[in-house]
Chain A
């Protein structure tokens, strides 16, 4: 295929490179939450900047991917699928950036009682993302494995949902100001959104796969 689909291979390479960039952003967000747990302010500041940089880098790769796409690779309907999928993955990187901003710019204080659950929640979101990424990788390289990764991603998203609900309940059961509850609730939901967005990605992957089956 290398000789017959150079344009296509270039697009696929950029697409996968973008997924890697998104993964780096999510991983650094996990480290950011760990830094909150260990109350390491210096590390929090460094990771805040790093996540921002990671998100910008992902954006740049995505733009290069879009340009490569419109050099005429792939049939038009698959171009649409791949662009939509890349856009969906990019929203995950954007969300990571938002989460760090919620914490840093809104001077959020996370009660000790919530932090372990938050770490668990972000780790599940990362796992859900990783499965979605594998599903995307399989979509372009080995479609026989797509279903398995889709199912893994959904399963992890479902577990993350449970934790998110428990966390929200915990937040609203706490004896703190309503504004603080709302602020924390928004933070928890934003982390939960990462897994939801991974699920949106696998939904798109599933659809793209079905469309390519005879």
Chain B
């Protein structure tokens, strides 16, 4: 029976993989360092590894926000997925982490079962995501850049960037799996054991990366490689590190907001301030507010209507 409830979960994981997998391997694929097919295979493998090895804390956090039934968990996932689709359609950048959290809180509020201490921790982490990514990108750029500049040969620099592109892509995939698996199977954590939740989440994200990430990977990859290649590698490194740190803390965060912060941080380290603009800040702030709000209202509404007819 639980398999039926898991169908939207797999769909949500698939869509998350198709969208967010692009951030970590985009620049490497665009630059022809690795073939798309090999990149997605490595990425899917490391996403699964990350989910299995470091995804536990995030799953615990999401399951601690509010108690769930199988039906409410399914509604949460469906509403998060639909909210994401609507917001992407109207052009507001949406985060799967924020959409999922909004959905869970929406239903949790109706059931009066929200643990506000967890919510506060999550909100602090969301705000800290782009700020942390700026900081990590700045520090990584300065530190690695110092040693990078010491390499006297262009061939050596070129080889190092190629190797870094692949290694960081794999690490980024690991961090994505560790951080975002909770978004996929978090609401079901009470009904599945951890290994099964991580496996289903990791596999569905991986499947999304393998089957449908090409278009997004090329679009996102191109916008990241507008930077010089060193900056783009550092940006992906900072994104991966940020995701991984929050995976260890146990809070799923937005990889899209982290990459924006990372690009700003690399730009600042290079002495450029034009990567920061009001529009970017407005977009991130709008994402923080609107994504959880819309999915929360949506899930609460669906749950309320269904509860009038069924015992949920």
A residues engaging B (CB < 8 A)?
Answer: 1, 4-5, 8-9, 12, 72, 74-78, 139-144, 208, 211-214
Contacts and interface: CB of A to CB of B under 8 A. Distances in A.
A187 to B, nearest CB: 38
Nearest to B231: A214
B148 A140 contact: no
B126 interface: no
B246 interface: no
Given A4-B159, A5-B159, A75-B161, A214 B154 contact: no
Contacts of B270: 214
B229 A143 contact: no
A78 B159 CA distance: 12
Interface in B151-171: 152-159, 161-163
B149 interface: yes
Secondary structure of the B side of the interface? Answer: helix
Nearest to A82: B154
B153 A212 contact: no
Nearest to B161: A75
7 nearest A-B residue pairs (beta carbon)? A214-B145, A214-B148, A142-B152, A8-B155, A5-B159, A140-B154, A5-B155
A212 B152 contact: no
B141 interface: yes
A214 B157 CA distance: 11
A39 B94 CA distance: 80
A117 B98 CA distance: 76
A78 B153 contact: no
A75 B155 CA distance: 10
A75 B159 contact: no
B207 interface: no
Nearest to A81: B154
Given A75-B31, A75-B162, A12 B229 contact: no
8 contacts: A5-B155, A8-B155, A75-B31, A76-B32, A142-B152, A144-B152, A212-B154, A212-B157
Contact of B158 (A78, A141, A213): A78
B228 interface: yes
B229 A1 contact: no
Interface string B97-131: 00000000000000000000000000000000000
Given A5-B159, A75-B162, A142-B153, 11 more contacts: A1-B159, A5-B156, A8-B158, A8-B159, A9-B155, A75-B161, A76-B31, A141-B152, A141-B153, A143-B152, A214-B146
